[in-house]
Structure 1
Amino acid sequence: MTAANSYIVLTEGLPPATIAAEIIKQLPHYAPTLLNYLDQSKSDMTAIDLSQSRCTAFEYWQVNQAQFSASTAKHNAALALLLAAQQQNLSKLASDRPFWLVELVHIAPARDGAALIPAKDLLISQEQSHDLLRSAQALCEGTPFQLKPWSATHWQLLSDSDLPLSFASSALVSRTTVNDWWDQDPNSRDWRRFVNEIQMLYFDHPINQQRQQHGYPPINSLWPVGGLCPNAWQPQPASSVQIFTELSEPALRQDWGRWLEQLRMIDQQLAPLLVHNPSLMLSNTTHYQTLQAQPKRVWHRFIKPTPVWRNHWLAQS
């Protein structure tokens, strides 16, 4: 059950402006339940300056929901603390020490620059993570860095160096190129050197040989996440959120036919949830749209309210 004042989130549920007009034409057939709710809703659209947020619109929204203030740092710096809060691990952290995680990723040359595959798309087992961590820890000797276990997809990074709070989120990097976000700050020189050594270590690592034999991309690099001290920001409990991610893969592949089929299946699940009038959040990389059903008025029987969401959807401004 979805309670009042909760959110239903459709990641990549907001088609980019280039395809939005065509998608709207298809909604009556594929998503009549969602369409009816949208037509009754108040709409707001938020555009994200990626050069400032250094994370996707969905990540930006999540951090804002946890009452983060942009005056503290850019939104990307808050992502590690947000993850720790979601995993109920904040109490384990030193309050006055920058909290960093590193994410296990795959980086490979691409036509427009190096491409990154984030951990969530790599199917990393706990055993694989443990073996790779043990190898990396041996490499830490003589460097300013230490690595500690955290999860199958992330490790905690401890450092004597003051790393800059400028590393873009892996989700954003995966939608663009590594070259767009590879930090050349002098303060990250030691980190770049360390990552280069990690990449050489993992090139023919037994774990990666096994992964490639089974058709999986090698885990060949680490990507930093976070950098804020817990005493700079404590994520606040947000409203209840139910997240549908099924639209993300077809949207990122620009497979709009499959996107619509996935939306059809989501639409069938929405009917019992929308009875409770939750807020909706639809996102793409650079924008998110929030919608809240308006109370029905007597005059709505005679004059239908203007569905402003369509203008927002099409203009995305």
Structure 2
Amino acid sequence: MNTLPMPEFSAERALIVPFAAADDDACRQALAGLALPALQAVLTEWSTPGPVRGDAYSRNAPHEHALAAALGWDARPDGLLPLAAWHAGVIDRPCAWLHLCHWTVGMEQVSLQAMDPASVPPDQSRALLAALAPLAAEDGLTLVWEQPTRWRAEGEPLRHLPWPSLDRVAQRRLDGWLPDGAAHPAARPLLRLLNEAQMLFYTHPVHDERAAQGLPAINGLWIDGCGTLQPHEAPQGTPPQLTDALRRPALHGDWAAWRDAWQTLDREAIAPRLRHPRPGPITLCGESHWQTWAPPSTPTHATLLAGRWRQTLRRLWRPARPANVATVLQSL
């Protein structure tokens, strides 16, 4: 049974749903017979411009691209969506997130697990940040504590540094995901910082403290959300709501919990939109693609996707064809 806390959803806000499906046989089996009556009504009654096609190996995940489009950001190279800067409201200064992680090194592979926020006391996180900050400063980076499992880095080395999203690599082998320092010279100091963090964290008192508490080791970091937010892209208005209800069970392959989370999401976030006079649109995101649905009667729903998409969507937006939920989700 799903025990993840559900946030309060606003039916007026655009809703972006990451991890709506995954390219996994167990996920496809979980979709069989999954009853999502509110989502079925949306797919049948609302309008869509069709899917926005992507790549399962892009550095940024589909839900990150969907958020950037909804916010009207300028086009950027893959891996350079300034999510950290946008979240903090930092303008014209390069930023990135540093996520506390557990790296597992095997005989032939290295994999990465994101830390559960509940397992990282703030004092431990702050102690590790204080220890790493001087080394980061040598590379021109300032570290800012945001959450127990996530810090923000600011500095020029992050301005042109494409890096894969944590949502791309969590619970996976890192083969092919780590930037190549030879091809991307800007990545070299950051790769060195990751190595220094591993050595520093291993010898830090927090390591022994967590071992004594039976907690998983914090033995590394992952960088993402790199880039610079331009002044005309500053946060304004009410942003879309990006729910993480499906994220944890999807990343851990817990498809029973994922099904439960989907049913709760359908009941608490999607069903109220069917009764609301001015509901916000819904965007579903898989591993490669994303697709948006909005009420056909809403005259301004095409403005959800700004910039170069706007005129195209106004021409192509069309009523959705009735479709089975599982079929649509598998297509993402």
Query: Please, what TM-score do these two structures have when normalized by structure 1?
Result: 0.76
The yes-or-no answer on 1:313 pairing with 2:320 is no
Kept after mapping to 2: 8 A contact 1:14/1:288: no
Question: Which of 39, 55, 58 is residue 34 of structure 1 equivalent to?
Answer: 39
Separation of aligned partners in 2, 1:231 and 1:240: 17
Question: Which of 25, 46, 49 is residue 52 of structure 2 equivalent to?
Answer: 46
Aligned to 2:10: 2
The yes-or-no answer on 1:102 pairing with 2:98 is yes
For each residue in 1:80-135, what CA deviation from the matched residue of structure 2 results, as whole angstroms up to 9, or x when unmatched?
Answer: 222223xxxx2xx5x3x433443322222257732222356574332112111121
Aligned residues: 296
Instruction: Assess, with a 3 A threshold, how the Cα gap between structure 1 residues 26 and 196 changes in structure 2: closer, same or farther.
Output: same
Separation of aligned partners in 2, 1:77 and 1:295: 32
Instruction: Assess, with a 3 A threshold, how the Cα gap between structure 1 residues 238 and 158 changes in structure 2: closer, same or farther.
Output: closer
Aligned to 2:273: 273
Kept after mapping to 2: 8 A contact 1:203/1:220: yes
Q: Pairwise mapping of residues 1-317 of structure 1 onto structure 2 (< 5 A)?
A: 2-4=10-12, 6-16=13-23, 25-27=32-34, 30-43=35-48, 44-51=50-57, 53-70=58-75, 72-85=76-89, 90=90, 95=92, 97-110=93-106, 113-119=109-115, 123-140=119-136, 143-152=138-147, 153-158=149-154, 161=157, 164-174=160-170, 176-186=172-182, 187=185, 188-231=187-230, 234-237=233-236, 240-269=239-268, 270-276=270-276, 277-295=279-297, 306-308=321-323, 313=328, 316=331
Unmatched runs of 5 consecutive residues or more in structure 2? 1-8, 299-318
Kept after mapping to 2: 8 A contact 1:101/1:155: yes
Query: In the alignment, residue 8 of structure 1 is paired with which amino acid?
Result: L
Shift of 1:168: 1.0
Shift of 1:254: 3.5
Q: Secondary structure at the match of 2:290?
A: strand
Query: In the alignment, residue 252 of structure 2 is paired with which amino acid?
Result: R
User: Which has the higher Rg, Structure 1 or Structure 2?
Assistant: 1
Query: In the alignment, residue 292 of structure 1 is paired with which amino acid?
Result: A
Shift of 1:50: 4.8
Kept after mapping to 1: 8 A contact 2:60/2:78: no
Query: In the alignment, residue 40 of structure 2 is paired with which amino acid?
Result: L
Q: Please, what is the CA RMSD of the aligned residues?
A: 3.5
Unmatched runs of 5 consecutive residues or more in structure 1? 297-303
Query: Please, what TM-score do these two structures have when normalized by structure 2?
Result: 0.73
Query: In the alignment, residue 124 of structure 1 is paired with which amino acid?
Result: V
Instruction: Assess, with a 3 A threshold, how the Cα gap between structure 1 residues 20 and 314 changes in structure 2: closer, same or farther.
Output: farther
Shift of 1:227: 4.3
Instruction: Assess, with a 3 A threshold, how the Cα gap between structure 1 residues 134 and 237 changes in structure 2: closer, same or farther.
Output: same
Separation of aligned partners in 1, 2:239 and 2:275: 15
